Amino acid sequence: MSELLARHRAVMPSWLSLYYDAPIEITGGKGVRVTDADGNSYLDFFAGIVTNMLGYDVAEVREAVERQIATGVAHTSTLYLLRGQVELAEKIARLSGIPDAKVFFTNSGTEANETALLLATQARGTDQVLAMRNSYHGRSYGTIAVTGNRGWKNSSLSPLNVHYLHGTDRDTPAFRGMGDAEYIEACVADLRDVLATATAPDVACLIAEPVQGVGGFAMAPDGLYAAYKEVLDEQGILFISDEVQTGWGRTGSSFWGIGDHGVVPDAITFAKGLGNGFAVGGVVARGDLMDGLTANGVSTFGGNPVSMAAANATLDYVLDHDLQAAAARLGPVVLDGLLPLTALASVGAVRGKGLMFAVEMADPATGAPSPALAGAVLEATRRRGLLIGKGGLRGNVLRMAPPLTITEADAREARDILVDAITEVDHDAAS
C-alpha cells in the first residue's frame, strides 16, 4: 500500500486529501460492507460520501447496467432521444411536487447547482444570490461562490454577487440559548435587513441545503425555510433546494429534505445516491423556469444511457423497498445510542435526522472544536471495522450516512463501535 500511496502523491494534487494515517484502497464490496487491499472488512457508514445509497453489488442495479452495456450503446448524447432519460425524468418530476416540472441531467451535484444558478439568474436578470453560512455546493467557480465555508473556498473571485444568511449557527453568541421560534424570528429579521441594506432589487434566488453535508450535517430548525420563502415570495426571489445529500428519503421524515419545512421549492438539485455509484446529477424545476434559457444547451455525458440504467434501477429499488421508512425506523436506533455521548467532555454535540448522524468533537479542557480528536476517532473506528466521515466548518465533526439498506443489526453494530471509539478517545484526551 505504501507503494501505491507514493505513486498517488507523485501524480495527484496535494489538496486531494486522503483519510487515515495509512490510507486504504477499497477493492471489494458486498451489501453494506467493503474489503480493502489487505483483506480487512469494514461496515461502511459513509457510503462513498453519501453516494452508494443501496450499498455494493446490488443485483437490480448491476443487471440493469449490464443489460444496457450489452446493447453496445454506452453513449449517444442528448442530441438523440434517450428512453431511460425520459423515464427517469418522468419519475423525478412526479416525485418532486413541483408544478409542471421538467428535468435536466448532469454528471454531478456541482454541475446540477451550476445549472440551477444559471436558471435563476437568467430568469431574474441579476447576479445577486442568497446563500447560507456554513454551506457547501460544489468545487466549480460558481458553486464555490455560494459556498459559505472558508475551508472550501479557493478564491474570492466570483461570477455572482452573494450575500450569506443565518440558519444553522444557533450556537454562536448572537443566537445562543434561543428556542426554535425565537431563532427563526431573528433569522427572518436578518433576511429582511439584508434585502433592505445589502442588495439591489431583483435578487435571483436563495440556494440552501436542508441539511448541510460538508457543514457537518448542521440543519436549520424545521420551518425556517418556510418563513424565509414567505419573504422571498414578496419580491419574486426563487428558492433552490440543494438535495445532493438529503434526497431520496434519507432524512426519513420526507422524501426530499426540504419537505420538513413544508416548502415546495422552485428547483431541486440532486446527485450522489441516485446512481448508486454511477455518475449522475440533475435539476428538477418549474417548466417555465427550465425553459427560460435562450441559448442552446447540451450535456455530453449527462443522462448517458448507462448512468440512466443505474439511476432508474436505484430509484425503483428505493421506492419498491420503501427505504424512506427504513431511514425513519433505523435512524433512532443509532441516534438514541449516540446522544448520551454528550456527557463526555470531548463531545460538543450530537445530532441527526433519518440516516444522517453527526458528532462534534471538542477539546475537553477548553471546549474548542477539535479536528485532532475527530481524526483520532476516525482512526479508532477504522481499527474496529467501521468507516465514517468527517467535516464541519472547523473539521471537528464526525459524520455518518450509511446505505439506506442497512439492517437493524448493522445499525446497532455501528452505534456500538462509535460509542466505544469515542469513549476511548475521550478517555485518552483526558489522561
> CA 354, CA 210: separation in Å to the nearest integer?
13
Q: Please, which pLDDT band fits residue 383 given cuts at 50, 70 and 90?
A: very high
Per-residue confidence (pLDDT) for residue 102, from 0 to 100: 98
Cα-based angle 343, 349, 352 (whole degrees, multiple of 5): 120
CB 211 within 8 A of CB 251: yes
Residue 18 included in any domain: no
Per-residue confidence (pLDDT) for residue 308, from 0 to 100: 98
- Exposure string of 4-37, with b = 16+ CB inside 10 Å and e = fewer, is eeeeeeeeeeeeeeebeeeebeeeebebbbbbbe
Q: Please, which pLDDT band fits residue 1 given cuts at 50, 70 and 90?
A: low
User: Where does residue 195 rank: exposed (0-12), middle (13-18), buried (19+ CB within 10 A)?
Assistant: buried
Residue 293 included in any domain: yes
Take residue 253 and report the three cell numbers written for it: 421524515
Per-residue confidence (pLDDT) for residue 267, from 0 to 100: 98
Indicate whether 306 pLDDT > 90.
yes
> CA 238, CA 171: separation in Å to the nearest integer?
28
> CA 255, CA 197: separation in Å to the nearest integer?
36
CB 427 within 8 A of CB 373: no
Indicate whether 420 pLDDT > 90.
yes
pLDDT tens for residues 7-17? 999 999 999 99
CB 114 within 8 A of CB 338: no
Mean pLDDT of 95-121: 98
pLDDT > 70 fraction of the chain, expressed in percent and rounded:
100
> CA 281, CA 50: separation in Å to the nearest integer?
13
Mean pLDDT of 226-237: 98
The residues, ordered by sequence, that sit 6+ positions from 160 with a Cβ below 8 Å of its Cβ are 117, 121, 127, 128, 129, 142, 145, 146
Mean pLDDT of 222-243: 98
The CB density around residue 87, as the number of other CB atoms within 10 Å, is: 15
Mean pLDDT of 238-265: 97
Residue 233 included in any domain: yes
Range of the domain at 234: 75-320
Residue 159 included in any domain: yes
Indicate whether 325 pLDDT > 70.
yes
User: What's the number of domains the chain is made of?
Assistant: 1
pLDDT tens for residues 328-361? 999 999 999 999 999 999 999 999 999 999 999 9
Per-residue confidence (pLDDT) for residue 154, from 0 to 100: 87
> CA 262, CA 258: separation in Å to the nearest integer?
7
Indicate whether 155 pLDDT > 90.
no
E-strand ranges in 362-430 read 386-387, 389-391, 397-400
DSSP percent split of the chain into helix, strand, coil, nearest 5: 40, 20, 40
The CB density around residue 283, as the number of other CB atoms within 10 Å, is: 28
Residue 351 included in any domain: no
CATH, residue 290: 3.40.640.10
Mean pLDDT of the chain: 97
User: Where does residue 369 rank: exposed (0-12), middle (13-18), buried (19+ CB within 10 A)?
Assistant: buried
Residue 11 included in any domain: no
Residue 226 included in any domain: yes
Looking at residue 353, what DSSP letter applies? S
Residue 145 included in any domain: yes
Mean pLDDT of 401-426: 98
Per-residue confidence (pLDDT) for residue 198, from 0 to 100: 97
Per-residue confidence (pLDDT) for residue 2, from 0 to 100: 84
pLDDT tens for residues 34-52? 999 999 999 999 999 999 9
Indicate whether 211 pLDDT > 80.
yes
> CA 177, CA 25: separation in Å to the nearest integer?
44
Backbone angles phi, psi at 257, to 5 degrees: -55, -30
> CA 165, CA 59: separation in Å to the nearest integer?
44
> CA 211, CA 397: separation in Å to the nearest integer?
14
